[in-house]
């Protein structure tokens, strides 16, 4: 247990912010220098609608409030409001300094456990949150593809070449397939056959080079069994609130881009729906990014999907978007992590 704690603390060391910042800013600055007309960009900034910019800030706070309410509710109010705030901010920080494919789930279990909730319950709440989020992506992405009538992937953009666009399409389908398979498998184990889940992954890791993962597979199987026991017995109201709050927080996250684009361009109602749909698809792509917090991948993808709405200044707006939704959590985490550690270690 001590080794696991040391490993988790090492993964969220404040020094971890350096790499994602360098990657994200490096990509943004390079694309900015090579593709952006500074005079034209200044003209766009002068014409910016301050109301939409302030609305984007409001949406950001609403989204975080939704996250705080959701974790407070999912834990049956065992997490206090103060603990819920710490959990959300540090979870966002952990997600920002680890690859998107890894996420901050192990850190979240550690945080909730250190806030006074037993390990089994902490594990169950984090697994449940992850499954709710992934289920949203699985259901929302096909709806976005259907409603956009094939326009989710732009035909051509100034920066996104045909090759880059084809690569993103392929990446989307790979990411979506992996998420759907992973989520379905874990949902089966968590809600229906936890012991069968443990037996199956243990058997799979009994052959050839997979034997090196056998110990980890057993641990995951044990954790699913523990989490499954904790989740049993939840009523319809609990699940209804969990689902509604998940749709709310992710919709608020996606609407951030709508607000920022509307600040610099005139969007019709149809444009807003398409932007929302594209953001869903873009997020599925970002989920398998190997870089911390999808640094680099996020900026390039943003320019590809939304650059056409602001005259090719997608990379500039991408940096603005990340200044709203990504970098603040890096610096907030650096500030509050030491304070939180002192508080929970003393407790």
Torsion of CA 175, 180, 181, 183, to 10 degrees: 120
16-49 per-position pLDDT tens digit: 667 766 776 676 676 666 666 666 667 667 777 8
Non-local (6+) Cβ contacts of 242 within 8 A are 70, 73, 74, 128, 132
**Residue 81 predicted with pLDDT over 90:** yes
Query: Which pLDDT band, with edges at 50, 70 and 90, does 325 fall under?
Result: confident
In terms of pLDDT, which residue wins out, 307 or 268?
A: 268
Please classify residue 188 by burial: count the beta carbons closer than 10 Å to its beta carbon, then call 0-12 exposed, 13-18 middle and 19+ buried. middle
Beta bridge partners of 292: 99
Distance, in Å, from the CA atom of 91 to the CA atom of 133, rounded to the nearest integer, reads 14
Closest CA to 281 of 165, 131, 156, 196: 165
The answer to whether 256 and 321 have CB atoms below 8 angstroms apart is: yes
Please report the DSSP string for 180-212 in residue order. Answer: HHHHHHHHHHHHT-HHHHHHHHHHHTTSGGGGG
Within a domain: 207: no
Tally of structural domains, the chain: 1
Please report the DSSP string for 213-226 in residue order. Answer: GHHHHHHHHHHHHH
Q: Name the residue with tokens 């302030």.
A: 54
In terms of pLDDT, which residue wins out, 316 or 242?
A: 242
Distance, in Å, from the CA atom of 312 to the CA atom of 118, rounded to the nearest integer, reads 51
User: What is the per-residue pLDDT for 155?
Assistant: 65
What is the pLDDT averaged over residues 226-247? 90
Query: Which pLDDT band, with edges at 50, 70 and 90, does 2 fall under?
Result: very low
Distance, in Å, from the CA atom of 295 to the CA atom of 20, rounded to the nearest integer, reads 6
Within a domain: 230: no
Q: What pTM value is reported for the model?
A: 0.85
User: What is the per-residue pLDDT for 235?
Assistant: 87
Within a domain: 229: no
Within a domain: 268: yes
130: tokens are 């992850």
DSSP assigned state of 47: T
Within a domain: 234: no
Distance, in Å, from the CA atom of 139 to the CA atom of 243, rounded to the nearest integer, reads 12
* Exposed e or buried b per residue across 107-117, where buried means at least 16 C-beta atoms within 10 angstroms of its C-beta: bbbbbbbbbeb
Please classify residue 304 by burial: count the beta carbons closer than 10 Å to its beta carbon, then call 0-12 exposed, 13-18 middle and 19+ buried. buried
Angle of the 297-306 helix axis to the 269-286 helix axis, nearest 10: 150
**Whole domain around residue 14: which residue ranges?**
2-191+243-346
Query: Which pLDDT band, with edges at 50, 70 and 90, does 157 fall under?
Result: very low
In terms of pLDDT, which residue wins out, 192 or 46?
A: 192
What is the pLDDT averaged over residues 77-90? 92
Distance, in Å, from the CA atom of 74 to the CA atom of 242, rounded to the nearest integer, reads 7
Within a domain: 132: yes
Within a domain: 219: no
241: tokens are 């609130």
User: What is the per-residue pLDDT for 158?
Assistant: 42
Within a domain: 202: no
129-152 per-position pLDDT tens digit: 999 999 999 999 998 888 777 678
């Amino acid at each position: 247990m001590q080794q696991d704690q040391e490993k988790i603390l090492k993964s969220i060391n404040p020094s971890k912010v350096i790499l994602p910042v360098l990657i994200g800013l490096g990509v943004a600055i390079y694309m900015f220098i090579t593709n952006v007309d500074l005079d034209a960009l200044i003209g766009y900034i002068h014409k910016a609608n301050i109301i939409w910019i302030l609305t984007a800030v409001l949406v950001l706070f609403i989204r975080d409030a939704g996250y705080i309410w959701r974790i407070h509710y999912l834990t049956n109010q065992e997490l206090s409001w103060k603990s819920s705030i710490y959990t959300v901010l540090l979870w966002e920080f952990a997600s920002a300094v680890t690859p998107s494919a890894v996420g901050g789930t192990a850190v979240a279990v550690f945080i909730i456990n250190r806030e006074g909730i037993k390990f089994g319950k902490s594990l169950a709440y984090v697994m449940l949150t992850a499954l709710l989020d992934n289920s949203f992506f699985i259901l929302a992405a096909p709806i976005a593809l259907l409603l956009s009538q094939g326009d989710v992937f732009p035909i051509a953009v100034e920066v996104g070449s045909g090759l880059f666009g084809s690569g993103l399409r392929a990446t989307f389908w790979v990411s979506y397939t992996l998420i759907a398979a992973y989520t379905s498998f874990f949902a089966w184990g968590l809600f229906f056959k936890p012991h069968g889940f443990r037996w199956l992954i243990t058997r799979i890791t009994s052959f050839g080079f997979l034997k090196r993962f056998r110990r980890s597979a057993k641990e995951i199987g044990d954790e699913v069994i523990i989490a499954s026991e904790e989740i049993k017995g939840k009523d319809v109201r609990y699940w209804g609130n969990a689902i509604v709050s998940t749709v709310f927080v992710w919709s608020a996250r996606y609407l951030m881009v709508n607000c920022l684009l509307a600040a610099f361009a005139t969007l019709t109602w149809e444009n807003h729906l398409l932007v929302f749909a594209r953001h869903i698809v873009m997020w599925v792509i970002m989920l398998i990014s190997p870089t911390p917090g999808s640094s680099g991948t996020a900026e390039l993808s943003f320019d590809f999907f939304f650059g056409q709405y602001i005259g090719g200044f997608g990379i500039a707006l991408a940096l603005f978007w990340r200044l709203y939704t990504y970098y603040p959590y890096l610096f907030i985490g650096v500030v509050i992590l030491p304070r939180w550690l002192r508080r929970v270690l003393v407790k």
